[in-house]
Amino acid sequence: MPVVLITGSSTGIGRLTALTLAAQGHQVYASMRSTTSTDGAATVAEFAAVENLHVVELDVTSQASADAAVRSVVEQAGRLDVVVNNAGHLYVGYVEAFTDDDLTHLIDVNAVGAHRVNRAALPYLREQRSGTLLYVGSTIIVTTPPFLGPYVASKAAFDALAVVTSYEASQFGIETSIVMPGAITRGTSHFPNASRASDTAVTAAYAALDPLVARNEEATAALVRPGVDADPQGVADEIARVLALPRGHKPFRTVVDFTEAGVEHVMAFSDLTRETFVHRLGFGQTLQLR
């Protein structure tokens, strides 16, 4: 069975994906920034009793940490087959109130972090001429709701990096799949652990909008129709489904959206337009798995 490295596995989708893949027999290396934090320690204790599930520390804001984690996986398992880029964080607030340091930090975690992990893993995948880079993206790059500006920007950068990396990786036999969850408020720590803007003076200037921000999570949850089970396990199941497909048959992009925002239709047209443009450039071979 494949050897899988998952980032951001202490809670939410990452944790559920680790448990799901391990139960299916994958050799899973579930990474997290800290194994001693409250969430990390609890997850480590849970994972210790699960067969095929191993824990590795990996801070996506550090290239040295990413390099060490990937090296550890390869040394223990003998190879690496799949990287699930899942780690991410949420900011909630008014765009103007987020300082340049705030914005830079979030992009560093949510987008550059995946790039660091790829830089650590790709040398091994290129050498073996096989592997899968699977990205846990977001429908938010299309829906772009209010009061989540830095997060929207960071996930758009994450998606763009996944796409442009796929052209080059494909020529070394490495597949790419982007799984795009819609808004999920249950079973994840995104909203409860969200960070706020550093500039409190600017935040105060927007006080008239505070009631809107205060009901952000409630409004998001209300997008799901009654009777629909908006369980993040559905995203983990989709990741498992994609990874189980034969080489060359994995979808480039798939959407799991309990809010039914119609993002899959937008992305289908967007990817078709992009692929047509790449063909017109004469680089069509980069769209094919070699």
Beta bridge partners of 85: 135
Of 29, 91, 94, 151, the catalytic one is: 151
Residue 256, token pair as written in the block: 């799991």
Sequence letter at residue 102: D
* 151 is an active site residue: yes
Helix (H, G, I), strand (E, B) or coil at 62: coil
Kindly give the pairing relationship between strand 53-57 and strand 27-32.
Answer: parallel
Task: Name the β-bridge partners of 242.
Answer: none
What is the three-class DSSP state of 133?
A: strand
CA 116 and chain centroid, separation: 13
148 within 8 A of 140, measured Cβ to Cβ: yes
- How many Å apart are CA 31 and CA 22, to the nearest integer? 14
Rounded to whole angstroms, the maximal C-alpha distance in the chain is 57
Active site residue ranges: 151
